[in-house]
Amino acid sequence: MSYVRRAGEPIYLEPFERKERLIIRDGFYFYRTRECQFIGPFETAKDAASDLNMFVEINQIEQQIHTMIC
């Protein structure tokens, strides 16, 4: 598993496995953000995971931009 340190996490913290974010409810798939928002519904787990990956990538880019500006 690859590990990307979150902004603000101390360097000395050891990586840990984060909780599963995909959830199935009433036959549809959702994912949970760190802020405990549920995003969905998606027809398949693959669609939910794909959207989650895009969500994570966008957040990483936003963090990089924020770091460059500030």
Per-residue pLDDT, 10: 54
Per-residue pLDDT, 9: 56
Domain boundaries, the chain: 22-69
Per-residue pLDDT, 8: 61
Per-residue pLDDT, 28: 95
Per-residue pLDDT, 34: 84
Collect the ranges in the chain with pLDDT lower than 50.
Answer: 1-2, 13-18
In terms of C-beta density within 10 A (0-12 exposed, 13-18 middle, 19 or more buried), how is residue 54 classed? exposed
